[in-house]
Structure 1
Amino acid sequence: MLNEKWQKLVDVADFAFQPIVNIYTGKLYAVEALIRNYEGAGFVTIDAIFDTAYSEKVLYMIDVLLREKAIHKFSLLPFSKHIKLFYNLDNRITMMPDFKPGYTCELLNSYGMDTSNICFELSEKHQVGMYAGVDKLVLNLYKQQGYKMAIDDFGVGFSGLQMLFNADPNFIKIDRFFVCDIHLSKKKRLFVSSIVQIAQVMGIFTIAEGVECEEEYLECKKLGCNMVQGYFVQKPTQNVCEILSSYEHLKTVSLNDKRKGTKNSDIVKYLQKNHPVFIDSSINEVYEMLRADKTVHFVPVLERDYTPIGVIKDTDIKTYIYSNYGKALLYNLTKGSLKTIVSSCGRADINDPIEKILKIYGFDDENDAILITENEKYVGYLSSRVLLEMVNEKNIVDAKDQNPLTGLSGNRIINEFVSTAMESKDKVLMAYFDFDNFKPFNDYYGFRKGDRAITLFADILRSAVGLEECLVGHVGGDDFFLGWSLKEEHNFERVYGIVQEIVLKFAEDIKSFYCENGLSSGYILAKNRDGMLQSFPLMTVSAAVICHGFGYQHDLDDNELNEIFGRLKKSAKHAPTHIACVDLGVIKPA
C-alpha cells in the first residue's frame, strides 16, 4: 500500500506528449511521455520524485503506476498502434525488492499493443558508483522482451560512450546542450557530426533533442540526424488531440532548403531489394534466402515493424552448417530469435546525399552493405559492389571536372563550394586570383614556360593552405580560386595575411622564370593588344577576396556575388598590394 504522499502523486500526476518526427518528412514517429502536475504532490523537480522513491524503496511500484497512466493516455491517440511511446526509465528499478519483469507486456496486451510500441529511455544520470552495471541488466531484461531502447541526454555525462558500447541501443538522443545554437558553433557541429557518424555505422538512429528554431533544425538535418524533437516541431502538450500524424511545416522548410541547393541523392536507381527476414524468423528462412540466390552473401534482419536491426552474413553461419552438431547448436542459438547471429550494419536514409552514404560505408571495414530506410522503415540495401560502383562514378565525375594541367578542382566544384559557403553560418574566405601581365610573358617565353608559371602558382596555393575544409580550384588559364571554412578563433587579419603571403611568394618565385635582361630591367618587351611593342613589368598576381560570416549574414544571389567579385578584381589590379578585399559582414543591408 502506498502512503498518502505517493498516492497523491499518482492521483494528480499527468503526462504531456512531445512529438519525435522524421527530420526529412515531418512524419510522426513517436511521442515522448513527460510527467506533469507533480508539484501538486509536494515535489519540486522530477528528479526529486524518483530519488525519494528510490531511497524509500518504492521506486518500482511508483514507476509501474505512472507507466500505466502514460500507456493509457498514449492509447487515446488514434494512431497509437502505428507509432512509439518513449518512456523515461529509471535504471535503479531493478534494485527494488518488489521488482519483477513482465508487467508492461501484460498492460500493452490489454490495449491491443505489443512491445514494439514502447521505447525505454535510459539516462547517464545513474551510471556511476554502485549503479555502474545496472544499465546492462535493465537492457537485457527489456530488450529480450522486444522493447526498443534509447540512450537519453547523450554526451552530457562521463559514461555515455561506455553505455553506447555496452548497450547496443536502437536510438541515441543527442542532448539539447549540443543542439542549442549549433548553427553558430563549429565545435558543436563537429561533436554532433561525430556522434551521428558512429551511430550510422552501428545502425543506430539519432534524435536531436530540444530543436527550437529553423536554423538548428536545418543544421541537424545537414549533419545527418534521423529524427528531431523540440519546440520547433511542437511544445509538449497534455491534450492528445493536438498531436498530429505529420508536421507539414518541417516538410515545407526541407523543400525550401532543397531549392537553395541542398542536394539529396537519387539513390533509388542504385537501390537493391531482396526479401529480408524478421528477428523472430526461423533459421531455415535464412538458409532458404542464401540458397535461392548464390550472389547474395547476407540477409537483412528486421523488427516486425520493419525497422532494420542488422544483417546475417553467410560467413557467420558457415562454421555451423558443416557438421550435424553445428547445425543443432545453431538451431538452439536462434530458437525464438536470430539476434545471436546478427551483425551490425551501416544505415542511411533514402534522402541522404550520396557523399554521406559513401562516408558511412568507408568508415567501417566490416560493412558488407548499407541498409536504406524511409521514415525509419527498411526499403532496400546497397551492396559493397554497388557502393564501389557509386564511388567509381563519383571519382569519374570529379576527374572530369579537374583541370588537366594542375589537377585542381574545376568550375562545378568551385560553384558548389561558393553556393554552400553563402548559405553557411561559418566564417568563410573565398579568393579569386588572376595573373597580371601573363599574356606578354606567355608570348615572350612561349606556352611551355607559361604552363610552368601556372603550375608554380598551383603549388604555392596548395602549400600555403594549412586550414581544414579548404578547396583549391583552377577556374582556367591563369585564373585560380581558393576557399576554406575557418575556425572560430580566426579573425579577419589572420585570413588576409594568408592571401598576402601567397601574392608575395608568387611575385618572388616567378622572377626565376625571367631571363637576365628582363630581371635586371624589371620588364620585357612584347606586343600589346594593338600589335605594338610595349614594355610590361614582371608578372604578379592579383587577388579579389570576400570574407563571409564575420558579421551580418547576406542572402546574395549569384549575379550579385559575381558583380562584387568583378569590382574587386578591377580594384586589385590597381592596388599597391595587388589585393582587394571585402568583408560582407561590414556591408549593411539596403
Structure 2
Amino acid sequence: MPDLRKEIINILDGKLLTPHFQPIVSLAQKKIMGYEALIRGPSDSPLHSPFNLFTTAERFDLSTRLEFLCREITIQRYADLDIKEKLFINASPLVLLQPEFKKGETLRLLDHYGVNPRSVIIELTEHKPGDNYEIMRASAKHYRGMGFEIALDDLGAGYSGLRLWAELLPEYVKVDKHFIHGLHNDPVNLNFVRSIQSMAASLNCNVIAEGIETEEEFKAIEKLGITHAQGYFFARPTTIPAEKIDNSIFTTEHTKDYKTVPFNNATTAIDIIRDITPISAKTLISDVMNLFHHNGELTMLPLVDDNIASGIIFRDKFLTKLFSSRYGIDLHGKNPIKTFIENTPLCIDENMPIDLVSKQLTSLMTNDPAFIITHNEAYLGVGTLLDLLAEFTRQQIDNAKHANPLTLLPGSVPINTRINQLLANKIPFSFGYFDLDNFKPFNDVYSYDAGDDIIKVVANTLTKYIPAESGVVGHIGGDDFIVIFTCNDWLVRCENILEAFKNTVPAYYSDNDIKSGGIHTENRAGEKCFFPLVSLSIGLVDPVSTGRCQSHVDIADLASEAKKMAKKTTGNSLFINQRMSAKSPEKSQSVVHKSTAKLHAVN
C-alpha cells in the first residue's frame, strides 16, 4: 500500500502537477470565452485524479500548500500559452482560515507572470454544511476586494446555494451537471434550470451550464436562453487547450428557426443596421486618432480583417484612454489599434429578430453601446443600443395593438402571420383550437368577473405547459384560444393541460355545485337545464396535415372541424383531425385524399 503522505509531499516538493484547460463557451458569440483550469497529479501516481489529490492533501493538512502550488503552476502555464480568454481558477474558501494563508499571493503571481487580473475569475465551491456560509461570504469579499470576478460553482449541489447566490451576487453561476444530464427528457430538471436562468437574468448574472455531453442537452439549454456552457460536447480538458469550437455544432433547429421565421413579422437586426466602413485591426493608433479628428460625427470604428470583426473602437473611450497619460500619443501612436481592444464584440446574425437581440445583449450584461451585425458570420455593419431600443419599443407597441386586453396574449393577426410564415418556410408545426364547454351558464350564474377568472385560468394553464420555446399561445376572443406547437410532444402537452384544467376548475364553484357535478340554470331557450362543470375541448391538427395547407384559413377550417368533434364528448377532451390535402393539377384547389381522426377524453 503506497505511503500517501510521502507521495503528496514528493508531488508538492517537485511541483509535479499538470494543469488542464477546459473551454467555457459563449453561446451568444459562438466562441470560447474562457477556460477552467483543472489540475492533475502525475499519471503514474495514485494521486493522479483531482479527487484523490485534494482529499489526501486535506487529510495531511497540506491543502493550503497544494492550492497555492496549483495556482502558481496554472497561472504560469496560462501565461506561457499566451491565452487571451478568461481563466477560471478554483478556490477553496476553507484555505482562507489556514494559518499559512498568504494574503495577496494571487496578485503577486499574476504580476510576476504578466497576467492581467481582469482576466481571472475565481470559482468558489461550497462543500460542507455548518459555518461554511460565512466562510464563502468572507472568501468572496476577499477576492472581489482584489478586483477579481466571482463564479459560484456547482449551484444546486451545495447546502445553501440560493442563499449564497442572493448574498454574494457573483458575476457567474455554474449549474451542477446533475441538473444538465438528460435535461431534455427530465421536466423537473428542465423547470429547475429554467428558473435558474430566469433568476440570473434579473440579477444580471451569467449562467454556465456544466456537463454538456450530448447535442440534445445542448439544444435544451440553448432553448432556455442560457448563454454559457461547458462540457465534453464542446471539448475535453487538455494540457494545450482548443483555440476554437467547430461552428457546425451551433447549427441547431433553434438557431435555424430565427434565421428564417421571426414571429409576428418582427423586424430583425438588418432593419437597424448602420453602414460603417471598418478599418483593419493593424491600423496604427495615430491613424485612428486622425480619423476621429477629421470626422466629428464618427463615434465608432469596427475593426475587421478578412471579413471577421475583432472589435469596435468607441470614440469617447479611445480618446479618454489615449490622453489619460501625459505622453499617450507618443507612447502608443505607432502601436496597432488592436492593442486597445478590451472585449470581443457581440456578433448578431442579420436575420435575428429584435426581441432575441435584446435578450442576448441583456444576458451578456455588455456595457458597449454597439454590436456587430453579420451575414453568414462575415461583417455586414453595426447596430447600436439606441436604435435597438427604439425599434424594440415600436415593435412592442405594435404588438400590443393586437393583444387581447384580458390575457395580453397575441390575437388573430400576429397568430395568422406566424402560421403563414411557417408554411412559407416549410417549417413543421401542429395546431390547436381550445374552447370552453358550458361557459355561458357559468357566466350567467357566477357573474362575468368569475367568467373572466376562468378565462385567465385557461391562459395561465396554456402558457405554463407551452413556454415560448415550445410554441405560441394566442387568445382570439371570448373563451377561444389557439396554439401553434413547434415542439414534438404537442399531444402530451395537451393531455397535461386537460388534466390540470380539470383539477383547477372546481375551485371556482360552490360546494353544492361541486357535489352536484354542475349547475341548474336556463338555457338559451329559457328552459331550466342542468349544465356540467366547465370543461375544455381541444381540436388539433397534426404536423403532416398543417404542412399540406396553403394558408392559415385552411388550418383554421381543419381545427374548427376537430373542435366540433371534441365538443361532442362530455368533459375535457381532444380530437385530432388528420385530413391530408394536396393540390389538384387540373383545378388548382384542395382535394381531400384521406380523412382520419383520433379522440381522447379526460373525465
Residues 93 and 262 of structure 1: is their aligned pair in 2 closer, same or farther, counting only changes over 3 Å?
A: farther
Superposed, which structure 2 residues align to 1:221-260 within 5 Å? 221-240=222-241, 243-253=242-252, 255-259=255-259
Q: Percent identity?
A: 25
Give the deviation of 1:121 after TM superposition: 0.7
Letter in 1 for 2:216: E
SS in 2 for 1:28: strand
Matches of residues 398-409 of structure 1 in structure 2 within 5 Å? 398-402=399-403, 409=410
Aligned partners of 1:543 and 1:569 also within 8 Å? no
Q: Is the 8 A contact 1:431 1:546 kept in 2?
A: yes
Distance, in Å, in 1 between the alignment partners of 2:100 and 2:457 is 68
CA distance in structure 1 between the aligned counterparts of 2:273 and 2:164, rounded to whole angstroms: 35
CA drift of 1:460 comes to 6.9
* Cα shift at 1:349: 10
Q: Show the counterpart of 1:7.
A: 10
Counterpart for residue 378 of structure 1: 367
Give, in whole Å, the separation in 2 of the partners of 1:16 and 1:49: 15
Of 174-183 and 250-259, the range deviating more from structure 2: 250-259
Do 1:431 and 1:483's aligned partners in 2 also have CA atoms closer than 8 Å? no
Partner of 2:88: 86
Aligned to 1:366: none
1:424-573 matched pairs, under 5 angstroms? 430-431=432-433, 461-462=455-456, 467=461, 469=463, 473=474, 481=482, 491=496, 494=499, 512-514=523-525, 545-546=539-540, 558-559=547-548, 569-570=560-561, 573=564
Work out the CA distance in 2 between the residues paired with 1:65 and 1:404.
63
Q: Which runs of 5+ in 2 are unaligned?
A: 275-298, 301-313, 326-339, 371-382, 424-429, 438-448, 465-471, 507-517, 530-534, 579-596, 599-603
Q: CA deviation at 1:511?
A: 7.1
1:106-162 CA distance string (max 9 Å, x none): 333343322122212110114x33444222333233222222221100122122223
Alignment correspondent of 1:26 = 30
**Alignment pair present for 1:77 and 2:78:** no
Structure 1 distance, partners of 2:541, 2:182, is: 22
Equivalent in the alignment of 2:215: 214
| C-alpha distance after superposition, 1:71-127 (max 9, x if no partner) | 23323435x1x211111111122222221123333333343322122212110114x
Cα RMSD over matched residues?
Answer: 5.6
| CA–CA distance in structure 2, aligned partners of residues 405 and 60 of structure 1 | 61
List per-residue Cα deviations over 1:164-206 (Å, max 9, x = no partner): 2332322111111222232333333332233223333333222
Show CA shifts across 1:510-539 (max 9, x none): 9744478xx99xxxxxxxxxxxxxxxxxxx
Alpha-carbon distance between aligned partners in 1 of 2:20 and 2:167, rounded to the nearest angstrom: 31
2:115 is equivalent to residue 113 of structure 1: yes
TM-score (norm 2): 0.58
In the TM superposition, what are the counterparts of 1:1-400 in structure 2 within 5 Å?
3-8=6-11, 11-37=15-41, 40-43=44-47, 46-78=50-82, 80=83, 82-126=84-128, 128-240=129-241, 243-253=242-252, 255-259=255-259, 261=261, 266=268, 269=272, 305=342, 372=361, 377-380=366-369, 393-400=394-401
| 1:289-346 CA-partner distances (Å, limit 9, x unpaired) | xxxxxxxxxxxxxx994599xxxxxxxxxxxxxxxxxxxxxxxxxxxxxxxxxxxxxx
The structure-2 alpha-carbon separation of the partners of 1:429 and 1:469, relative to structure 1 and needing over 3 Å to count, comes to farther
| Whole-angstrom distance in 1 between the partners of 2:35 and 2:233 | 15
Q: In structure 2, how many angstroms separate the alpha carbons of the residues matched to 1:265 and 1:3?
A: 67
Instruction: Please state how far the C-alpha of 1:211 moved relative to its aligned partner.
Output: 1.5
CA spacing shift, 1:164–1:389, aligned 2, 3 Å: same
Q: Is the 8 A contact 1:186 1:488 kept in 2?
A: no
Over 3 Å counting, the alpha-carbon distance change for 1:374 and 1:414 in structure 2 is closer
- 2:575 is the counterpart of 1:581: yes
TM-score (norm 1): 0.59
SS in 1 for 2:95: helix
Offset of residue 480 of structure 1: 5.5
**Equivalences, count:** 454
Structure 2: how far apart are the matches of 1:96 and 1:191? 36
C-alpha distance in 2 between matches for 1:179 and 1:73: 30
**Conserved? CA contact 1:151–1:173, under 8 Å:** yes
1:260-282 Cα deviation digits (max 9, x unpaired): 6477985794999998889x99x
CA distance in 2, matches of 1:124, 1:489: 41
How big is the shift at 1:22? Answer: 0.9
For 1:566 and 1:157, locate their aligned partners in 2 and report how far apart those are by CA, in whole Å: 54
Specify whether residues 262 and 30 from structure 1 end up closer, same or farther in structure 2 by C-alpha distance, changes over 3 A only: farther
Q: Distance in 2 between matches of 1:141 and 1:98?
A: 16
Letter of the structure 2 residue corresponding to residue 69 of structure 1: I
Distance 1:512 1:47, change over 3 A: same
Q: 1:32 to 1:148 in 2, by over 3 A?
A: same
**Which secondary structure state, in structure 2, belongs to the residue aligned with residue 211 of structure 1?**
coil
Q: Residues of 2 paired with 1:574 and 1:199: CA distance?
A: 45
Distance 1:154 1:18 in 2: 19
Change (3 A) 1:458 1:582: farther
CA contact (8 A) 2:151 2:173 kept: yes
Q: Is the contact between residue 13 and residue 38 of structure 1 (CA under 8 Å) also seen in structure 2?
A: yes
* 3-state SS in 2 of match to 1:20: strand
Structure 1: runs of 5+ lacking an equivalent? 286-302, 309-347, 361-370, 423-427, 436-454, 502-506, 521-540, 549-553
Alpha carbons of structure 1 residues 117 and 469: separation in structure 2 relative to 1, 3 Å: same
CA distance in 2, matches of 1:384, 1:259: 21
Structure 2 letter corresponding to 1:481: I
Distance 1:429 1:110, change over 3 A: same
Cα 1:95–1:463, aligned 2, differ >3 Å: closer, same or farther? closer
Distance, in Å, in 1 between the alignment partners of 2:104 and 2:406 is: 70
Looking at structure 1, the residues matched to 364 and 409 of structure 2 have their Cα atoms a distance apart, in angstroms, of 39
Counterparts of 1:49 and 1:477 in 2: how far apart (Å)? 66
Q: Is the 8 A contact 1:306 1:377 kept in 2?
A: no
Q: CA separation in 1, counterparts of 2:520 and 2:249?
A: 54
Say which SS state the counterpart of residue 57 (structure 1) adopts. coil
Identify if the C-alpha distance between structure 1 residues 383 and 49 changes in structure 2 by more than 3 Å, giving closer, same or farther: same
